[in-house]
Chains A and B, each alone.
Chain A
Amino acid sequence: MTTLTKTEDAPAPTGPESFLSVRDLKVQFSTEDGIVKAVDGLSFDVERGKTLGIVGESGSGKSVTNLTILGLHNPRSSSVDGEIVLDGKELVTATERELEQLRGNKMAMIFQDPLTALSPFYTVGRQLSEPFMKHRGASKKDARDRAIQLLEKVGIPQPKARFDDYPHQFSGGMRQRAMIAMALMCDPELLIADEPTTALDVTVQAQILDLLKDLQQEFGSAIIFITHDLGVISNMADDLLVMYAGRAVERGSVREVLGAPKHPYTWGLLSSMPRLDGDINEALEPIPGSPPSLLNPPTGCPFHPRCAFKDEVPGTLCTDSRPPLGEGRASACHLTAEQKQSIFIDKIQPRLR
């Protein structure tokens, strides 16, 4: 049987103008049990001023991808292949020193859990000031002014007094705001937000999302927004990448992917989402099975063991060959375009109403 994996090696959903371009990224961890292919041939682009949403189950490679962009993966236990080009600069082959210059400066990351992601040993102000002093060569006083200004911008009351507080003296929402302020200290052109609102309650979540949108408008940064909350993503992102087992299975604008999804996994994600106006007697439909082991991923299409529609594909195509992800608006599935459309309209859409 032919393997179609090769086609993904061919670069280029878009031209050279994209600000961040990831091509055929492969991240592998060697563990005692074998090699884990955490990210296996991923390509995407992000433009300035745009937000790319990445959704997928736990273990689908979302976070690993973004840690790799910053070069924060463990170099001893992992190997990285492929290209990550940020504004013309290749990051996979960059030295640690070059990456240091970029991190917190040109690219910054907002982490998931603000309780553990801020150091308990230093004041919020000091933690905010450090990158500014390092990257801009600013004096302590300038860094302090900048930090207070940003703390105010992210909505921390009395930022002057709060500057000298420790993270444990902040509430959860304030810590997350401080985290965002920290990422923004040097006006990063690329901002990676790894589930920045997961640990927060819904009202605070909405405030933080609004804040990120405002800041994006102001600074024109590119944002990569990782989440498994489809509601949040529809609110935040311009483009959407659906990941499964370390690969992208569907790509397109948010409107396209959420409005007319073309991949059985995306259908599953949408069907399993609870709706406020849904019938309370109707059970949610989870995707059957569990995420595949990345040590020993399924042959062919990694989603085939859980796919309800693989019988519609002739022969053993699903188990034998990995479906390629085309360019632009695309989904990695062996179903024909007509099949995808009719299945979605007949079987999936009614469930979402």
Chain B
Amino acid sequence: MFQFIIRRTVGALVTLFLIGAATFFLFVAAPSDYASLACGKDCSPARLEDIRQALGLNLPIHQQFWDFMSGIVMGRDYPTGHCSAPCLGQSFYSGDMVWSTIMDRFPTTLTLTAGGAVVFVIVGVGAGMIAAYRRGTLIDKVATGVSMVLSSFQIYVLGPIVLLIFVYSTGWMDNPAYHPITEDPWTWFTGMLLPVLVMATIFTAQYTRMARSSMIEQLAEEHVRTARAKGMSNKYVFFRYAWRGSMIPIVTVLGIDISAMLGGAVVTEITFSLQGIGRLAVDGAVHKDLPLTMGVMLFGAFFILIVNILTDIAYAYIDPRVRLS
């Protein structure tokens, strides 16, 4: 286990470096640069050169890359002050330090992810399992039907409808916004409730369908039949034997979804005008803001790698045939 974590961590660091390099060089290879964009229409060569110098774009590309990557580990010095590790550089567009911008925005994204995950694991997987347990009954048909309809919705369709009903027409709720949980848990809860629920609704429906089909598949397994042949009760067989195997595909998808959401739930954030990581990623791309794009990219990749490791540990926990070595 310990060895596994060490090995995977080293692997993750190498992967992060490669992702950083790929992002950086792809960005530089793009046929437009930030300096000429910032310089505007009446751009004199001298002014352009000043901007390039100020942003460090005059340096050779490998030098720029090295400065950026080493800054993450050791920190960097800027004319405006020291940027301590992990330093993701200074945004071209806003001039803010990328790391602190990300840290400002992260609680919003984390709330969305955690809230969403709680809802769709409990409600989604739960409903799917109930549907599988009561297969063929009215409960199953309702759960299957509702999840079918909901999973074909999109956040940007459902979101505005919900906003119209709960905010604009009735005024029951305020416009969604993030308030730090440390200041007032209640406003934090109410502020994020609608975005979390709308996002979770769509995911929940997918998890319901997946849990149901995965469960039904497991119930048809021969070892499940053996357990019944031993005289174990239906409930016991369902929760001890079939459940275990059905968790594997669910954990897989859950890992992918959570890590993707931690890297920014772009559609949800934009639909509800929330300032999260996803919004930052879009800003970075729109403004050709290299440090911001790099920062968001590496931040997202970091979570994907971490969650991957956790998923593998979960596999080994669920299925004793999986070994972590």
* A residues with CB within 8 A of B: 70, 72, 76, 96, 100-105, 108-109, 111, 113, 116-122, 127, 130-131, 134-135, 166, 168, 179, 182
User: Beyond A76-B136, A100-B231, A116-B221, is A121–B318 a contact (Cβ under 8 Å)?
Assistant: yes
* B residues with CB within 8 A of A: 135-136, 221-234, 240-241, 244-245, 318-321
Q: Is the CB of A134 within 8 A of B319?
A: no
Contacts of A113 in B (CB 8 A): 222
Q: Is the CB of B245 within 8 A of A121?
A: yes
The minimal Cβ–Cβ distance linking A199 to chain B, given in whole angstroms, is 12
Q: Is the CB of B228 within 8 A of A103?
A: yes
Q: Is the CB of A72 within 8 A of B320?
A: no
A134 to B227, CA, bound (A): 12
Contacts of B228 in A (CB 8 A): 72, 103
Q: Is the CB of B320 within 8 A of A109?
A: no
The minimal Cβ–Cβ distance linking B220 to chain A, given in whole angstroms, is 9
For B135, give the chain A residue with the smallest CB separation: A76
The minimal Cβ–Cβ distance linking B58 to chain A, given in whole angstroms, is 61
Contacts of B229 in A (CB 8 A): 70, 72, 103-104, 108-109, 111
Q: Is the CB of A111 within 8 A of B226?
A: yes
The minimal Cβ–Cβ distance linking A14 to chain B, given in whole angstroms, is 27
Q: Is the CB of B320 within 8 A of A120?
A: yes
For A77, give the chain B residue with the smallest CB separation: B136
A108 to B221, CA, bound (A): 18
For B219, give the chain A residue with the smallest CB separation: A74
Contacts of B318 in A (CB 8 A): 121
A223 to B321, CA, bound (A): 34
Contacts of B233 in A (CB 8 A): 100
The minimal Cβ–Cβ distance linking A104 to chain B, given in whole angstroms, is 4
Q: Is the CB of B241 within 8 A of A119?
A: yes
Contacts of B222 in A (CB 8 A): 111, 113, 116-117
The minimal Cβ–Cβ distance linking A133 to chain B, given in whole angstroms, is 10
Q: Is the CB of A118 within 8 A of B231?
A: no
In the assembled complex, 9 residue pairs joining A and B whose CB atoms fall closer than 8 Å, in A order, are A70-B229, A76-B135, A104-B231, A105-B231, A116-B223, A121-B319, A121-B320, A131-B232, A134-B232
A70 to B231, CA, bound (A): 9
For B233, give the chain A residue with the smallest CB separation: A100
Q: Is the CB of A117 within 8 A of B321?
A: no
Contacts of A116 in B (CB 8 A): 221-223
Contacts of B232 in A (CB 8 A): 100, 104, 130-131, 134
A101 to B232, CA, bound (A): 9
The minimal Cβ–Cβ distance linking A240 to chain B, given in whole angstroms, is 24
20 additional contacts (CB under 8 A) given A72-B229, A103-B228, A111-B226: A72-B225, A72-B228, A100-B231, A102-B231, A103-B229, A108-B229, A108-B230, A111-B225, A116-B223, A117-B222, A118-B226, A120-B223, A120-B319, A121-B245, A121-B319, A127-B230, A130-B227, A130-B230, A130-B232, A131-B230
For A165, give the chain B residue with the smallest CB separation: B320
The minimal Cβ–Cβ distance linking A72 to chain B, given in whole angstroms, is 6
Contacts of B320 in A (CB 8 A): 120-121, 166, 168
User: Beyond A103-B231, A134-B231, is A117–B319 a contact (Cβ under 8 Å)?
Assistant: no
Most chain B CB within 10 A, of A76, A102, A105, A117, is at: A117
The minimal Cβ–Cβ distance linking A266 to chain B, given in whole angstroms, is 30
A348 to B150, CA, bound (A): 67
Most chain B CB within 10 A, of A103, A104, A121, A130, is at: A121
The minimal Cβ–Cβ distance linking B195 to chain A, given in whole angstroms, is 37
Contacts of A105 in B (CB 8 A): 231
- Which listed residue, B135, B136, B227, B234, touches A119 by the CB 8 Å rule? B227
A245 to B300, CA, bound (A): 61
Contacts of A103 in B (CB 8 A): 228-231
Contacts of B231 in A (CB 8 A): 100-105, 131, 134-135
The minimal Cβ–Cβ distance linking B123 to chain A, given in whole angstroms, is 25
A286 to B226, CA, bound (A): 34
For A116, give the chain B residue with the smallest CB separation: B222
A131 to B135, CA, bound (A): 26
A261 to B116, CA, bound (A): 69
Q: Is the CB of A121 within 8 A of B241?
A: yes
A122 to B232, CA, bound (A): 14
Contacts of B226 in A (CB 8 A): 111, 117-119, 179, 182
For B243, give the chain A residue with the smallest CB separation: A121
Contacts of A130 in B (CB 8 A): 227, 230, 232
The minimal Cβ–Cβ distance linking B233 to chain A, given in whole angstroms, is 6
The minimal Cβ–Cβ distance linking B45 to chain A, given in whole angstroms, is 70
For B222, give the chain A residue with the smallest CB separation: A116
A244 to B241, CA, bound (A): 35
Q: Is the CB of B241 within 8 A of A104?
A: no
A116 to B226, CA, bound (A): 9
- Which listed residue, B135, B225, B321, touches A120 by the CB 8 Å rule? B321
A103 to B135, CA, bound (A): 23
Contacts of A122 in B (CB 8 A): 240
Contacts of B221 in A (CB 8 A): 116
Contacts of A117 in B (CB 8 A): 222-223, 225-226
The minimal Cβ–Cβ distance linking A276 to chain B, given in whole angstroms, is 33
Contacts of A119 in B (CB 8 A): 223-224, 226-227, 241, 244
Contacts of A100 in B (CB 8 A): 231-233
A131 to B232, CA, bound (A): 7
- Which listed residue, A104, A131, A166, touches B321 by the CB 8 Å rule? A166
A100 to B318, CA, bound (A): 27
The minimal Cβ–Cβ distance linking B246 to chain A, given in whole angstroms, is 11
The minimal Cβ–Cβ distance linking B225 to chain A, given in whole angstroms, is 6
A131 to B244, CA, bound (A): 19
For A126, give the chain B residue with the smallest CB separation: B240
The minimal Cβ–Cβ distance linking B320 to chain A, given in whole angstroms, is 5
Contacts of A118 in B (CB 8 A): 223, 226
A117 to B222, CA, bound (A): 5
Most chain B CB within 10 A, of A101, A105, A130, A135, is at: A130
For A102, give the chain B residue with the smallest CB separation: B231
A70 to B234, CA, bound (A): 14
A65 to B308, CA, bound (A): 47
For B225, give the chain A residue with the smallest CB separation: A72
Contacts of A70 in B (CB 8 A): 229
